[in-house]
Amino acid sequence: MGKTVLIVDDSNTMRKIVSRALRQAGIDFDEILEAGDGQEALAVLADNQVDVVLSDINMPNMNGLEFLKAKAEDPAIKDIPVVMISTETGADIINEAKSYGAKGAVKKPFTPELINATLGPLL
C-alpha cells in the first residue's frame, strides 16, 4: 500500500521539485500533501494520516525547527518521521534538528537517489 508524504516548504517551486524527485526515486506514494510553513504543516498533520514529512528549515511564520518542537509535543503526531530538506545543513543546525526529533537531512541541491536513500529506511 502506498504511503502519504507531506512536503513543507515556503517555495512552491521547491515543493514541485521535491514531488518530482519523490516520483523519480520510485518510492510508492499514494498521496503527496503540501504545506507552506510549519503552522500549515501541523494543520495538515492534524487532518491526515501522514507517513513521512520532508521539511525545509528556513520558513516564515513557523520555521522547520519550531515545527519539530511543536510536533514533538503532540502525542498524536510526534512519532511521524521528519527529514529536513534545506540549504542549511551545517553540523550545528542538523544536530539541533535531530535533538528535536528529525531523522535525517538532505541538502539542496539533491538527486532522486539521495532522497530514496534517506527516506527508504523510514518507510
* Residues at the site binding other proteins, with contacts judged by CB under 8 A: 10-14, 16-17, 20, 58, 60, 86-94, 107-111
Toward other proteins, which CB reaches closer, 12 or 48? Answer: 12
38 in Cβ contact with 70 (< 8 Å): yes
Toward other proteins, which CB reaches closer, 14 or 122? Answer: 14
CB of 13 to other proteins, least distance (A): 4
Toward other proteins, which CB reaches closer, 20 or 78? Answer: 20
